[in-house]
Amino acid sequence: MSFETIFRMDGRVALVTGAGFGIGRSLAQGLAAFGAHVICADCDLPGAEETAAMIRDAGGAADAIYVDVAQTQSVDGLFGEIGRLKGRLDILINNAGVSTGPRRLHELPIEDWDRLMGINLRGVFLCARAAIPMMLEAGGGSIVNISSIAGLTGYFPGAARLCVNYAASKAGVIGLTRQAAMEYAREGIRVNAIAPGWHGGTRLGGARLAALSPEALASLEATVNSRIPMGHRGVPDDLVGLAVYLASSASSYVTGQVIAHDGGWTAE
C-alpha cells in the first residue's frame, strides 16, 4: 500500500453545500487541495462563485452552482447539473446550515423551527437522497454531515447560536448519519458526521452577534473561551484535516461515526 496517497482525491467529484462562506468555503478549498473536483453549492451564488474562483486560482478544479437545500426542486436541479457537468459524484459534504433566535423553547417562533429544520435537517436528507444513487452507480462514496456539539450536549450561557431547533436539527443529523451508515455499509458508501464546537470567522448567528453591545460580545467570547479546554475557539480552516480524512480513502474502514472537533469541549 502506498501511504503517501491515501488522502488524495484525484479524479473524484465532491459536492460541498454552503460553500459560499465560512466552514463550507474552507472545506471546499481543502478537498480541492487534495485533488477533488469540487462543486461549490450555495443559495448565495456570488459567494459560491467566489469560492470556486479561489480554488481555481490556487490551481484546483471547481464549479459553482445555486442551491437552496431546503427545496426539493432546487436540490434536484443541483444534482441534475452535477450529472450533466461531471457524470458522477463521489463525496458529499452536507454543510449548509443556519441558526435562529435567540429564544428559549417557549418563546421560539414556530416559523423559526420550521425554517431551520428545512435547511439543517431536511436539506441534509434531500442532498443525501439525491447523492446516494450516483454513489451507488460509482461503486461507493463518502458522505460527511456537519452536525454540531449542540447535537450532543446542551449549553446555555445566553449563547448567540444555540436554540432547541438548532440542537434538535443537529441531533437529527447524527441519527440520520448512523442509520444511513448502516443502510449502505455493504455498498461502499460511508456516512460520518463532524460535530464542530465554536468556530469563529463565519456568519453563523451573525445578525444576533451584531446586535450585541461590544461589552456583551466580549463577555460572551470570554464565557465561551473559558468553557473550552484549549482556551480558544477554532477557525474554519482547522476543520479541513478531519474533513479530508473522512472524505478520502484514509478513513476507508470508518462509518457511522460522529467526531467532535471542539478543543476538548465534549471531553469533560
Ligand X SMILES: NC(=O)c1ccc[n+]([C@@H]2O[C@H](COP(=O)([O-])OP(=O)(O)OC[C@H]3O[C@@H](n4cnc5c(N)ncnc54)[C@H](O)[C@@H]3O)[C@@H](O)[C@H]2O)c1
Active site residues: 166
Q: Residue 222 CB: number of other CB atoms within 10 A? A: 10
Cross-strand bridge partners of residue 93: 16, 144
Q: Binding of ligand X at residue 27 (CB under 6 A)?
A: no
Measured from the CB atom, is 71 or 188 closer to ligand X?
71
Q: How many residues bind ligand X (CB under 6 A)?
A: 28
The candidate with the shortest Cα–Cα distance to 194, out of 240, 253, 135, is 240
Residues in the chain: 268
Q: Which of 10, 17, 3 is CA-nearest to residue 32?
A: 10
Q: Which is nearer to ligand X, 8 or 115 (CB)?
A: 115
60/196 with CB nearer ligand X: 196
Of 94, 188, 183, nearest to 138 by C-alpha is 188
Give the separation between CA 110 and CA 157, rounded to whole angstroms: 23
Give yes or no for residue 67 binding ligand X (CB under 6 A): yes
The least distance separating ligand X from the CB of residue 187, rounded to whole angstroms, comes to 26
CB of 2 to ligand X, least distance (A): 33
- Write down the least CB distance from residue 93 to ligand X, Å: 10
**Contact residue for ligand X among 20, 60, 102, 141 (CB under 6 A):** 20
18, 102, 141, 172: residue in contact with ligand X (rule CB under 6 A): 18
Is the dihedral angle over the CA atoms 258, 29, 77, 10 positive or is it negative?
Answer: negative
CB of 162 to ligand X, least distance (A): 10
Other C-beta atoms within 10 Å of 65: how many? 22
Which parts of 179-238 interact with ligand X (CB under 6 A)? 196, 198-199, 202-204
Among 9, 23, 82, 159, the residue binding ligand X under the rule CB under 6 A is 23
96 in contact with ligand X (CB under 6 A): yes
For CA atoms 86, 88, 25, 34, the dihedral sign is: negative
Nearest C-alpha neighbor of 119 from the set 198, 172, 189: 172
Report whether 162 contacts 156 (CB < 8 A).
Answer: yes
Measured between alpha carbons, how far is 81 from 76 in angstroms, rounded to an integer? 9
Tell the smallest beta-carbon distance from residue 85 to ligand X (Å). 18
Please give the single-letter amino acid code of residue 19: A
Q: How far is the CB of 42 from ligand X (least distance, A)?
A: 5
Residue with smaller CB distance to ligand X, 87 or 241: 241
Q: Which is nearer to ligand X, 109 or 188 (CB)?
A: 109
Q: Which of 42, 49, 63, 112 binds ligand X (CB under 6 A)?
A: 42
Site for ligand X in 117-176 (CB under 6 A): 119, 146, 148
- DSSP code, position 122: I
Q: 248 near 6, Cβ under 8 Å?
A: yes
If the CB atoms of residues 35 and 77 are measured against ligand X, the closer one turns out to be: 77
Please count the other Cβ atoms lying within 10 Å of the Cβ belonging to residue 80: 12
The residues that touch ligand X, with contacts defined as CB under 6 A, are 17-18, 20-24, 42-44, 47, 67-70, 95-98, 119, 146, 148, 196, 198-199, 202-204
